[in-house]
Amino acid sequence: MKRYDPDYIGYLEQFVTEKRKATLKEVLARRTRHLTVVLEDLYQMHNISAVVRSCDIFGIQDVHIIRKHYDTKISHGIAKGAEKWTTFFEYNHTEDAIDQLRKKGYRIIATTPHGASVGLPEFDITRKAAFFFGVEKDGLSELVMNRADEFLKIPMFGFTESFNISVAAALILYETRMKLQNSGLDWHLSDDEQRELYQLWLEKTIKSIDSVKRKYYSGG
């Protein structure tokens, strides 16, 4: 079943400027699910917010959030609006996130300065990759460290031995995204995925969406 409705999209488009429609389509054409980000038990909202912002900037559509130890809804009101355009997946157990991502064809990539085997410049983006980022202080859980397919490390040349999590995420997304850009890989969203998001983004763009929607479904 398609999760969008071409008629409804056509209807919504009336309420949006040409310029805005063009922007939505341009951004969509640069979105990817070839790379994704998984945040394991991050507590600091400003870090989550910064990572989601980098995802938007580098065209990463999905962000996966594992929250074992607290239950606030974190997919709202973060990232200065960048979260508005992001697709969130939430989990209560790391295991669920790993299993579901594997089913979708992702390699599980532990980002860590410790025991790392692959340096960021050498990282191979041929297959789909889910980058796991861990708690500010303690890093990733043992579960992720045990079940990861690869360990990814950012080169460091100084005394400092770790990155702020938002900086680490930005560096990894920048480098892998630029590689993707220059690869012959088909990293774009499918047409169906793009249309589904386009419908959603049109809805989010229209201020009076509630009444606009009501009118459409009441046959007005």
**According to the binding rule CB under 8 A, does residue 158 interact with a copy of itself?**
yes
- CB of 140 or CB of 172, closer to a copy of itself: 172
Query: Which of 41, 56, 62, 196 is the binder for a copy of itself (CB under 8 A)?
Result: 56
Decide if 127 contacts 150 (C-beta within 8 A).
no
The nearest distance, CB 154 to a copy of itself, in angstroms, is 8
State which of positions 108-137 bind a copy of itself (CB under 8 A): 121
Decide if 73 contacts 114 (C-beta within 8 A).
no
**Residue showing tokens 């900086």:** 167
Q: Whole-angstrom Cα distance, residue 120 to residue 125?
A: 10
Query: Which of 4, 15, 30, 96 is the binder for a copy of itself (CB under 8 A)?
Result: 30
Decide if 80 contacts 53 (C-beta within 8 A).
yes
The nearest distance, CB 61 to a copy of itself, in angstroms, is 10
Q: Whole-angstrom Cα distance, residue 137 to residue 185?
A: 36
The nearest distance, CB 48 to a copy of itself, in angstroms, is 13
Please state the three-class secondary structure of 13-79 as a single string.
HCCCCHHHHHHHHHHHHCCECCEEEEEECCCCHHHHHHHHHHHHHCCECEEEEECCCCCCCCCCCCH
**According to the binding rule CB under 8 A, does residue 34 interact with a copy of itself?**
no
The nearest distance, CB 199 to a copy of itself, in angstroms, is 17
**Which amino acid does the sequence have at 211?**
S
- CB of 174 or CB of 216, closer to a copy of itself: 174
Query: Which of 19, 159, 186, 191 is the binder for a copy of itself (CB under 8 A)?
Result: 159
Query: Which of 39, 41, 42, 54 is the binder for a copy of itself (CB under 8 A)?
Result: 54
Count other Cβ atoms within 10 Å, centred on residue 53: 20
- # residues near a copy of itself by CB under 8 A: 35
Sign for the pseudo-dihedral over CA of 35, 87, 192, 195: negative
Given the rule CB under 8 A, which residues bind a copy of itself?
23, 27, 30-31, 50, 53-59, 80-82, 84-85, 121, 154-160, 163-164, 166-167, 170-171, 174-175, 177-178
